[in-house]
Amino acid sequence: MRMDFLQQPFSWYVAGPLITVNLFLLFYFGQRFGISTGMKTVCAALGAGNKYHFFKYNWKADSWLLIYILGTVIGGYIAFHFFNAGAPVVVAEKTAAALQQLHIAANQSFEPAEIFALQNAFSLKGILLLSIGGFLIGFGTRWANGCTSGHAIAGLSDLQLPSLIAVIGFFIGGLLMTHLIIPFLFK
Amino acid sequence: MKQLKFLLLGIFFGFLLAKAQVISWFRIYEMFRFESFHMYGIIGSAVLLGVLVVQFIKRSNLKSINGTPIVIEPKANTYKASLLGGILFGLGWALVGACPGPIFILIGAGFWAFVIVLAAALLGTFVYGIFSDKLPQ
């Protein structure tokens, strides 16, 4: 069989079940799926535990997670360099129309250049936007004790109420940003 | 060598999310506008099957690869923190179009702007750690 399908974008019904395979294998390997914890691990490994007790724990027990995260970086490299992952992302027609209002071209090769091309990312607006976004992700996931992987995938699979509440929070924040703040930022 | 399986699984996961376009800003924007089924299909089917997998693990008393019982710890019952932290994370997720996993995958893919996002996310994690006692849990 030719490997053509690996050059095409994956459908939801391929990707969703394969995420569950990943979830199961992590349980089987004796660990728990949760990527944002890796950022806490990095802070702890850099010595934050010397001063702040939140980071004072046996972070070496999480070394598997740092190796897993290194794997995801390599996986991204392989997908983009050998399997055509950077093909244009074709969005819904309504989304394309909304993007026009924001002066962001639709159906670009993967990420909007208006935000992520280096000359834009390293403009004053770009740096502010990306730093504030990143800060909210780091601060928010730690406060909520998890992100999309730990709460939305692992937590909901285990029918955890705190995870359901967290996911509702993700959507409140995401809807506010998408419908109220982004139109203001890119008008 | 015991850690090699985690490296391989990470490669699998990073490759998968990249090929499913889950890590694209456009897909997240589209999701929060409810204009495509793609992201909902992915998360929904992953969770639906995940519920079955977790029930299977619990009911069959499946042992891990090391021969120890698989213990799935419940998440801490910190509802205020879940909601408030969740809202802050959601704001950031929709703005940069990436949650923590995709940040790393995108750096691997060569989108260097995400180095800024990662540095800021590490700073956010650090600052949370400083103030964690003073925030509602």
Report pLDDT digits (tens) over B33-84: 999 999 999 999 999 999 999 999 999 999 999 999 999 999 988 999 999 9
* Contact: A39, B122; criterion CB under 8 Å: yes
CA distance A4 to chain B (A): 13
* Contact: A145, B12; criterion CB under 8 Å: no
Q: Which residues pair with B63 in a beta bridge?
A: B69
Report pLDDT digits (tens) over A99-123: 999 999 999 999 999 999 999 999 9
Among B8, B53, B110, the residue with its CB nearest the CB of A71 is B8
* Contact: B10, A112; criterion CB under 8 Å: no
pTM to 2 decimal places: 0.96
- Partner A contacted by B136 (CB < 8 A): no
Which residue in B102, B82, B72 sits closest to A28, CA to CA?
A: B72
Q: Structural domain boundaries of chain A?
A: 1-87
The mean pLDDT of chain A is: 96
* Contact: A75, B108; criterion CB under 8 Å: yes
Residues 6+ apart with CB under 8 A from B136: B80, B81, B84
Distance between CA A45 and CA A36 in Å, rounded? 15
Kindly state the DSSP code that residue B68 receives in the 8-state scheme.
Answer: S
Give the mean pLDDT of A163-169. Answer: 98
* Contact: A175, B90; criterion CB under 8 Å: yes
pLDDT of residue A2: 57
Chain Cα centroid distance, residue A158? 21
- Partner B contacted by A33 (CB < 8 A): no
pLDDT of residue A4: 83
Q: Which residues pair with A137 in a beta bridge?
A: none
Give the mean pLDDT of A53-59. Answer: 96
* Contact: B14, A73; criterion CB under 8 Å: yes
**Please, which residues 73-92 of chain A have a Cβ atom closer than 8 Å to chain B?**
73-80, 83, 85-86, 89, 91-92
- Partner B contacted by A96 (CB < 8 A): no
Give the mean pLDDT of B78-105. Answer: 97
Among B76, B77, B100, the residue with its CB nearest the CB of A39 is B100
Judge whether A52 and A43 are in contact, CB under 8 Å. no
Distance between CA A140 and CA A124 in Å, rounded? 24
pLDDT of residue B27: 98
Which residue in B11, B42, B87 sits closest to A149, CA to CA?
A: B42
Q: Tell me the residue type at A28.
A: Y
Judge whether B92 and A178 are in contact, CB under 8 Å. no
- Partner A contacted by B109 (CB < 8 A): yes
